Structure 1
Amino acid sequence: MHAPPAYTAETEGVVVRVRPSYLAAQSDPAAGRWVWAYQIEIVNLTGAPVQLVARRWTITDAYGHVEEVRGQGVVGEQPVIEPGDSYSYASGCPLGASSGSMVGAYYLTDVDGRMFEAVIPAFSLDVPDTRRTLN
C-alpha cells in the first residue's frame, strides 16, 4: 500500500500539509454516504511561536453542494506551535457523493497579537480505483 498524496501550502512561514484517505469501512455507497479521513501537519518555520485560534473549511461534493464550516481551534485545541516545531491532528469528512474537495484556512496569532490566515491547500476526496470521465 502506498502513502496518500500530500497537498502542501506555505503562508508567511507556516506550512500546512494534508494527506486525505478514503475510509471504505465507514462508507456506505448504497446509502449515499462516503467518508474520508485527513491527516494535517502544521509546521512553524517562522522565528517565533504562533497559536492556531480558528479554522474555516469549504467542502464541495461532486454534485456541487457546498458546505462552509467555521470554528475555534482544531479537534478541541488551540495549539501553540513553537518555531521549528509542528502540530499534527486527524479528522474526517462524510460526503453524499463519491468525490469532492476541501479547501480552507487556519487563523493564527503571532507573539505581537497580529492575526493572519494560513492557507489550507485544496485537496481532492476520491474513492481509490474509481474510473473517472471528464466532460
Structure 2
Amino acid sequence: MYRQTTQSIDVTVEPRYLPEHSAPQANRYVWAYTVTIRNGGLETVQLRRRHWTITNALGQVQEVDGMGVVGEEPRLSPGESFEYTSGCPLTTPSGFMVGRYEMEREDGTTFSVDIPAFSLDMPDARPLMN
C-alpha cells in the first residue's frame, strides 16, 4: 500500500495486477488500483479534478486529466472517506503512476493533493528499473 498526506487529506493506493484482463503475448498488461481519500482536516472539501502521469518500463509517459474520479466529485466532511477502484493498461510488464487531485473548499478556493507514486509490477516478472 502507498500513502501520502497533503493538507490533512490522506490518500492511500493499493494496486493489483489483473491477469484475467491481460494478454502478455500481445503486450497488454492491466492493473486495478483502489484509492481511499480521507479528510483528516477541519473543513469540508470536494474533489473536482484529477491528473495522472503514467510511465511504462520503457519510459513512455501518458498524461491523463479529467473531472472528478470514476464519474463522481465526492464531497468529504471532516473525518469522511471516499474509496474507488479504477484501472490502467500498459504495454510493458511494469511501470508506475503518480498524480494529484484538485480539491475545493466551501469558500471556493482550491488546493492540490498529491497522490503517492505507486508501482505497477506483474507478479513473477523480472524487475525492471522504472
Query: Structure 1 residue runs of 4+, over 2 Å off?
Result: 131-134
Please, what TM-score do these two structures have when normalized by structure 2?
0.96
Using the alignment, how far apart are the partners of 1:110 and 1:80 within structure 2?
10
Q: How far did residue 42 of structure 1 move?
A: 0.1
Q: Tell me how far apart the structure 1 counterparts of residues 127 and 73 of structure 2 sit (CA, whole Å).
A: 39
Q: 1:131 to 1:12 in 2, by over 3 A?
A: same
Residue type of the alignment partner of 1:102: M
Partner of 2:92: 97
The residue number in structure 2 matching 1:63 is 58
Q: In the alignment, which residue of structure 1 is the partner of 2:109?
A: 114
- SS at the partner of 2:20? helix
TM-score by length of 1: 0.93
CA RMSD of aligned residues (A): 0.9
Distance in structure 2 (CA, Å) of the matches to 1:118 and 1:16: 8
Identity within the alignment, %? 50
Deviation per CA, 1:62-83, whole angstroms, max 9, x where unpaired? 0111000000000001110111
1:30 aligned counterpart, secondary structure: helix
C-alpha distance 11-93 of structure 1, shift in aligned 2 (>3 A): same
Q: Are 2:127 and 1:132 equivalent residues in the alignment?
A: yes
1:37 alignment partner, one of 32, 35, 60: 32
Gaps of 5+ in 1: 1-5
Q: What is the deviation of 1:133?
A: 5.8
